[in-house]
Structure 1
Amino acid sequence: MIGQALNRVDGPLKVTGRATYAYEHWEGGQPLYGFIVGATIGKGRITRIDTESAERAPGVHMVMTHLNAPAQGARDESIPMEIWRAQPVLTSPDIHHYGEPVALVVAATFEEARAATDLVDVEYAGGRGRFDFAAHEDEVYAPKVVNAGLPTDTAVGDFDAGFGSAAVRVDQHYTTPYEFSMPMEPNACLVEPRGEDLVVYVSCQIVDAARASIAATLQMDPARIHIVTPFVGGGFGSKLGIHSETILAALAARASRQPVKVALTRQQIFQLVGMRPTSSQRVRLGAGRDGRLVAIAHEVTMHTNPDLEYAEQTAATTRSLYAAPHRFTSHRLTPLDLPRGADVRAPGEQPGLLAVESAMDELADALGMDPVELRIRNEPTVDPERDVPYSNRHLVDCLREGARRFGWERRPATPASVREGRWLVGYGMAVAIRGHYQGPTTVRVRLETDGSAVVQTDMTDLGTGTYTILTQVAADGLGLPPDRVRIELGRSELPSSWGSGGSWGAANSSTAVHRACASLREKLLVAACGDARSPLHGLDPADAVFADGSVRIDGASEALSEIVARNHPGGVEAEGETRFMGDDPNYAAYSIHTYGAHFAEVGVDSDTAEIRLRRMLGVFSVGRVLNAKTARSQLIGGMIWGVGAALEEEAIVDPRSGAFVNRDLAQYLVPVHADIPEVDAVVLDGYDDKANVLGAKGVGEVGICGAGAAVANAVFNATGVRVRDFPVTLEKVLPGLPPMDA
């Protein structure tokens, strides 16, 4: 059952509209609606705020500002991860970035609340804000650590000496823009007071983090906060933690003693949810004439909010990727008065690989070497910085299989040498690497007297297929058909997990289910083999086979329902767990990652520089696949996002105010159907026994890793124009296009 391309078990609910998302909850009457008023300056202080007109507006129940907001808990910096800390809002007149909440209007309807926000009169004393990254790029500092607790800088050997002695050198700067997750479902919630408790229907990725953060902010007992999030309409990092709309709804619900709904508009998401930081990256590669790297350095400077530090682990990508005896990586932060940086799909790897894999393509061009061959020649035998073996690395297999399937041998050896009418045609490739993480997760599996199973955990499903893969693992572990397994997710009363994010959710929760089922099988066998009434009495449980809802031993069999009904009339259950990776010796003894190789073909209009993706292939090594269909879907989705990062996505900051000027999906461009032709993802057979007992690793993010660089490299191969300031847009390519008769 594990690995099969089972259709999504929650699919019928979604296509019929019966899957209930955060903003759709509440059947007990009419809730109130809140709408956030955002600051119209990027730095300064509120000098006066007048809410009287808004309070008199039709339907308005309250207007909350820093003058009347309840006291809230402060952020506890001793808590390792930001998303578990308090997230106070409306606590002072100070403005830290454009769009920061200055008021919440609560009314009987959404329309009345939104209309009344125009009546809130706010006056400011503007301060001198820092909004322009390029203008302040030299005002840097080194963080203590970067995201995921990784070291800020690393050094092996003597980079300067190695690079200085290299026969061929690449020394280039690459820049990446601010980018946003932009899930289909906006950040939204409904908070319902029930006595001293709060029921919070919220779109979030990690239930335990949401509960802890709300409790710390509202200074409540966490047991009195009940998170409900059975379905999440995408997250990609933007819902790892809760945001101002949830805290404000909770404050308003407690104050009014009525349910309150708050949803962010698409425009507000650009200012209130956090984004991938902009970055400036210097990559230096030194190699011999044979293409073997002798020195590699990756130095990154990115923006951070001065009050809420976030250091994306952008250079960490390079530490395990290629062999080279002399190495250096670093991260530096530039404080700007902009919203906090945040995890966006494949934090670190996505922007880091855009730069490093572009630089590797530049090195291949300088050497006159095939880019695939260059990468194979620099394949390490052990992790080059940690000096530990890889758990399961098949990157060279991905490269060779991808080149074969794609027809890489037809790649134009000389840039700008192939035309089809007015179109310049080029091929590009890049590799993918993504760290595999493991976090504490508990799952309870219960077998009922009718022989059906219930799987319970607060793990979430972002549309990635959690309901389906857990169904498969439980069905496999108990020998049940999938329709006899029910999955319950996304409630804080269920066993706690690390939720969905970081590509850890599937492996964590599936491993825990697998272990719970093993414990449950043991309980059933002890009961049956020790029961004189059972056909299995006295038989050796080591020979047991669970299949078709029964247990068989040496030709004797008994239905699970009969064993449970006779020995456990109230049902029987067991729990399974995974532990934090820092407590698992495999994560210290091995370098554990997922891998892939991307291949892209583009056409570039020789008159207009319009870029069109023609086809794309990714070949991946991710250990054991839990569901072939959902895994392929996740990988293709990541690849398409990589195309957007290469060619379209870019949030523009107004240097006068710190506002994102293109804060909607009309101007912040993402790929649409017309942009994406043939895209295919292939997964190599695999099993990584160092990752977990199932041998499975995450696939949610490795698909985007390196995908954008493959497209950018294809543009260079088509045109001879190298763009290092992402995204690659026509105005950057057009001036360098060769003439039609070249």
Structure 2
Amino acid sequence: MNFPNELERIAERGAHVSGKPVSRVDGRKKVTGEARYAAEFFSDAMTYGFVLPSRIASGRIVSIESRRALELPGVLMVLTHENRPELPLRDAAWQDQSAPGGMPFRPLWDDRIWYSGQPVALVVAESHELARHAASLIEVTYERSSHCTDLREVEAESYPPSTEKGGFEPPPPPRGDADGALAAAAVKIDSRYSTPAEYHNPIELHGCTVIPEASGKFVVYEKTQGVLNTKQYLTKLFGFDDDALEVVSPFVGGAFGSALRPQYHLPLAVMAARDLKRPVRLVLTRQQMFTFAHRPMSLQRVALAANRDGKLQAVIHEAVSETSQYEDYCDVMVNWAGQLYACDNVRMDYKVSKLDVPTPADMRAPGAAQGLFPLEMAMDELAEALDMDPLKLRLINYAERDGNKNLPFSSKALRQCFEEGAARFGWDRRPLAPRSMREGNELVGWGMATGIWDAMQNEASALAQIGADGRVVVASATADIGTGTYTVMTQLAADALGVPLEHVDFRLGDSRLPKAPLEGGSWTVSSVGSAVHAACTRLRGKLTALAAEHGGDAFARAQPDTMQLDGEYVVCGEGKAQRVSLRELMTRAGLDTLDAQVTVTPHDRQQSYSIATHSAVFVEARVDAALGTVRVTRVVSAVAAGRIVNPKTAASQISGGVVWGISMALHEHGQFDHELGRQMNHNLSEYHVPVNADIHDIDVFFVDEHDDIVNPLGAKGVGEIGVVGVAAAVANAIWHATGKRVRDLPITLETVFA
């Protein structure tokens, strides 16, 4: 089946809603409260859980006294490691498909304390307030042991991460002699940088509602980026039969990677529901949202060397990031240095060091968000040393092939991003010297950076079904974490079938639906969208075949491409004069509905290419000369991401990424009391994120880019690329305004003045 040609034929028929800025089809449900999230489902005899966290960072539990809590009327259970249900002893039973290498965290497993905030007890009561009060009455005695929560203290103990399942793929091997070329080069820079621990803070708190049914089946409403991953995890852990467990997640109030793998609240809630034989709702507090997944802190070195003309002679990128004591989590942090710019001498190295903290997790553009910050800042520093425009330096070293894989790019419109982004920003008016622009008491600086993210496709399935009334149901067990999945899939289905958007009902977030991968990595449109398009295209083919067989002579003679749906009818002929009702066709064929289910897998020819999205980010920053306060007043983000199915939702994704990049540059920072081994700003009043007053003009646009390799749709995805490179562009703009290089994030008043 030739998908691109079919899309062209659909466009000729006039249905083409793909490529148009369609508003979210689920928007009304969200603003009216009709959309229900994991902790908003209800059942009779509902009970409520509350997690008691550890007060120490490392050690063991000596005793837990819960008598006072259990004496309260309405308290049903205090679950600890001493009385939890028997569960599998094998570590593999606790693993999910996104787990890093090592021993997975097992809540209430034994008396061992791995980190401050670790759950040590679960209280279940008739109300949330009662459960929380009862938890405050539990007395836990600890035996402390030494701990470390400061990456700088253990940097020297770093090691290459595990290569077990879900673990680490080492960086590409060195090419050339980077160290020798660095030593011999005419111009070089060699600097160290750091990024702090950052925390996912979606509006919706992590939580679940577990409902045991009279039949013995359990229905689990969970905040997750993958219902099938969650079901697989619970099935292995608790031994559920396949038909005895259903996971449902129709709406997710933001996740950013924190819901890729099940967090500790989920097994605790299922344990309690199985034991009590009653529904259990468990929602973490905002402070507890800081006790699991987070972006790891990193310490990085980037060294670049060039000849006098700016041609790179050496690229070295080394990074150390944090992991937990029990798992080896790692990001793809350094590989981008060998992919983004053309250079014959490249060396990349990545290691981790263990801390007494929870295992980090993927956070929007994992690895690229941290790794591109020092690389793109180092390129700016090299341009300064060469007395060269930073954009010119990037164009001189533009990579036509992926140096890591020695493969051509399936498409790469980065040069157009540079040119069109610079033109919209007015980059040609930028003076080379720092501290050259000023308005009133503000120093004005312009900075830029490049972004890159892998464009990936995974196997996915979709079901398309049409009824006698012309209504279409399309389904896949994917997720919508706020990215617009409902809307984009509806558009793709409407296009493939040639029907209005309002005739399509797209369903997701239920483990009973056709298989789909986790929603993450910017691969949902590429993967699930390809399956949706293929299923609907096949359904249209079956529909035209049905009309040809049962619709009479006019339909038997008609070309399939001339047949079209018109409400409850199939039409063809001059002016679509011939028509037959769907109900009549299905009655003649003995059908109630017409279905098509398709599984789409990545094409083999993808292996012959490097496939990526690219961006160019231009930033204006203003720094108060007296106070040191920084305002990012203008951002232009030019993105090359293949075919854009919905420019409105795609631009929203990029704008959100830009906001996060500004937050990364100026605001976010997990701050620890290393003596206690405890995070001190685990709330939204002290863990700073941008507010409306911090964000000004953001101009997002997409350059035209055709790619028939990436997937049948030609769409690369935009969820991650928006944040990549933004923090570096902000830091570079601050340097241009002030003449000061700040290589440690976030950039604060203290660091600007230091």
Q: Tell whether 2:88 aligns with 1:67.
A: no
Deviation at 1:150, TM superposition (A): 3.4
1:222-233 equivalent positions in 2, closer than 5 A? 222-233=242-253
Question: Which residue of structure 2 aligns with residue 627 of structure 1?
Answer: 646
How many Å apart are 1:337 and its aligned residue? 1.1
SS in 2 for 1:334: strand
Mapped to 1, the partners of 2:568 and 2:173 lie a distance apart of 54
1:197 aligns with 2:217: yes
1:6-43 deviations in whole A, cap 9, x for unaligned? 111111111111110111111x3241110000110000
Question: CA–CA distance in 1 between the matches of 2:162 and 2:327?
Answer: 14
Partner of 1:81: 98
Q: 2:581 & 2:553 partners in 1: Cα distance? A: 11
Structure-2 change in CA distance of 1:688 and 1:75 (3 Å): farther
Q: Is the 8 A contact 1:541 1:553 kept in 2?
A: no
Secondary structure of 1:619's counterpart equals strand
Match of 1:99 in 2: 117
Structure 2 counterpart of 1:140 = 158
Two-structure CA RMSD over aligned residues (Å): 1.9
Give yes or no for the alignment of 1:162 onto 2:193.
no
Distance 1:534 1:240 in 2: 53
2: CA distance, partners of 1:230 / 1:663: 28
Give the secondary-structure state (helix, strand or coil) at the position aligned to 1:49: strand
Q: What is the aligned partner in structure 2 of residue 574 from structure 1? A: 596
* Alignment of structure 1 residues 597-676 onto 2, 5 Å: 597-676=616-695
* Larger deviation, residues 395-404 vs 290-299: 290-299
Unpaired segments of 5 or more residues in structure 2? Answer: 1-16
8 Å CA contact 2:104–2:326 kept in 1: the answer is: no
Partners of 1:497 and 1:650 in 2: CA distance = 34
* Alignment-derived partner of residue 419 in structure 1: 438
Q: Show CA shifts across 1:636-676 (max 9, x none).
A: 00011000001111001221232111100111111110100
Whether 1:55 aligns to 2:67 is: no
Instruction: Note if 1:131 corresponds to 2:153.
Output: no
Q: Secondary structure at the match of 1:695?
A: coil
Which deviates further from its counterpart, 136-145 or 64-73? 136-145
SS at match of 1:172: strand
Partner SS state of residue 489, structure 2: helix
User: Residue 216 and residue 292 in structure 1: after superposition, are their counterparts in 2 closer, same or farther (change >3 A)?
Assistant: same
Aligned to 2:296: 277
Of 8, 15, 30, 1:14 maps to 30
TM-score, normalising length: structure 2: 0.94
Amino acid at match of 2:520: G
Q: Which moved more, 1:9-18 or 1:211-220?
A: 211-220
Partner in structure 2 of residue 364 of structure 1: 383
Number of aligned residues:
730
Q: Deviations over 1:403-436 (max 9, x none)?
A: 0000112223210122211111000100110011
Sequence identity percentage: 39
1:88 and 1:217 in contact (8 A); partners too: no
Identify unmatched segments of 5+ residues in structure 1: 736-742
Q: Which amino acid aligns with 1:500?
A: E
Q: Does 1:431 align with 2:450?
A: yes
- The AA in structure 1 aligned to 2:559 is D
Q: Does structure 2 retain, via aligned residues, the 8 Å contact 1:449–1:570?
A: yes
Partner Cα distance (2:580, 2:454) in 1 = 43
Whole-Å separation in 1 of the counterparts to 2:429 and 2:569? 55
Q: Distance in 2 between matches of 1:232 and 1:706?
A: 27
C-alpha separation between the residues in 1 aligned to 2:636 and 2:221? 39
Give, in whole Å, the separation in 2 of the partners of 1:558 and 1:294: 69
Match of 1:242 among 262, 267, 270: 262
* Equivalent residue number for residue 37 of structure 1: 52
- 1:551 CA displacement: 5.1
CA distance in 2, matches of 1:560, 1:135: 74
Over 3 Å counting, the alpha-carbon distance change for 1:19 and 1:116 in structure 2 is same
Residue in 1 that maps onto 2:8: none
Contact 1:314 / 1:348 at 8 angstroms: preserved in 2? yes
Which residue of structure 1 lines up, in the alignment, with residue 12 of structure 2?
none
1:124 deviates by 0.6
C-alpha separation between the residues in 2 aligned to 1:435 and 1:316? Answer: 11
Deviation of residue 550 (structure 1)? Answer: 5.8
* Alignment of structure 1 residues 207-226 onto 2, 5 Å: 207-226=227-246
Say if 2:140 is the partner of 1:122.
yes
Conserved? CA contact 2:632–2:696, under 8 Å: yes
Provide Cα deviations, 1:441-473, integer angstroms capped at 9, x if missing partner.
Answer: 111010111111001111111111111111100
Letter in 2 for 1:474: A
Letter in 2 for 1:54: A
Change over 3 Å in CA distance of 1:83–1:315 after alignment to 2: closer
The one-letter code of the counterpart of 1:6 is V
Deviation at 1:80, TM superposition (A): 5.8
CA contact (8 A) 1:317 1:353 kept: yes
Contact 1:552 1:558 survives alignment (8 Å): yes
| Cα deviation 1:519-550 (Å, max 9, x = unaligned) | 11221222222336263113333555567776
Code of the residue aligned with 1:603 in structure 2: it is R
8 Å Cα contact 2:572-2:579 kept in structure 1: no
Q: CA offset at residue 496 of structure 1?
A: 1.4
Instruction: Please say if 1:338 is aligned against 2:357.
Output: yes
Distance 1:609 1:149, change over 3 A: same
Compute the displacement of 1:568 (Å): 5.4
Does the C-alpha gap of structure 1 residues 577 and 560 become closer, same or farther in structure 2, counting only changes over 3 Å? farther
Checking the alignment, whether the CA contact within 8 Å between 2:160 and 2:351 is kept in structure 1 is: yes
Q: CA deviation at 1:726?
A: 0.8
Of 546, 561, 564 in structure 1, the residue corresponding to residue 582 of structure 2 is 561
Per the TM alignment, residue 158 of structure 1 is displaced from its structure 2 partner at its CA by 1.6
**Structure 1 residues 452, 136: CA separation in 2 closer, same or farther (over 3 Å shift)?**
same
* In 1, Cα distance between equivalents of 2:351 and 2:537: 47
Q: Is the 8 A contact 2:456 2:526 kept in 1?
A: no
Which residue in the other structure is 1:738 paired with? Answer: none
Shift of 1:552: 5.4
Q: Which amino acid aligns with 1:220?
A: F
The 1-side partners of 2:590 and 2:751 are apart by 70
Amino acid at match of 1:570: D
Alignment-derived partner of residue 280 in structure 2: 260
Distance 1:696 1:548 in 2: 29
- How many angstroms does 1:559 deviate by? 5.4
The CA deviation string for residues 315-351 of structure 1, in whole angstroms up to 9 with x for no partner, is 1222311100111111101011111010001001100
From the superposition, tell whether residues 537 and 46 of structure 1 become closer, same or farther in structure 2 (CA, over 3 Å): same
Shift of 1:291: 0.8
Question: For the structure 1 residues 641 and 9, does the alpha-carbon distance in structure 2 shift closer, same or farther, using more than 3 Å as the test?
Answer: same
SS in 2 for 1:536: helix
Q: TM-score, normalised by structure 1?
A: 0.95
Query: Which residue identity does 1:602 align to in structure 2?
Result: A
Write out aligned runs for 1:164-563 (5 A): 164-194=183-213, 195-271=215-291, 273-531=292-550, 533=552, 535-541=554-560, 544=563, 555=574, 557-558=578-579, 561-562=582-583, 563=585
CA distance in structure 1 between the partners assigned to 2:709 and 2:451 by the alignment: 20
| Aligned counterpart, 2:4 | none
Distance in 2 between residues matched to 1:305 and 1:418, nearest whole Å: 46
Match of 2:53, as an amino acid?
G
Deviation of 1:681 (Å): 0.6
Asked if structure 2 preserves the Cα contact closer than 8 Å seen for 1:212 and 1:222, the reply is no
1:254-291 deviation line (CA, Å, top 9, x unaligned)? 111110011111100101x2111100111111111111
Query: Alpha-carbon deviations, 1:208-264, whole Å to 9, x = none?
Result: 111111122223224321111100000100011111111111110111111001111
Distance 1:693 1:552 in 2: 28
- Whole-angstrom distance in 2 between the partners of 1:625 and 1:53: 59
Query: Where does residue 740 of structure 1 map in the other structure?
Result: none
Contact 1:479 1:549 in 2 (8 A): no
> Aligned with 2:527: secondary structure?
helix
Deviation of 1:569 (Å): 2.6
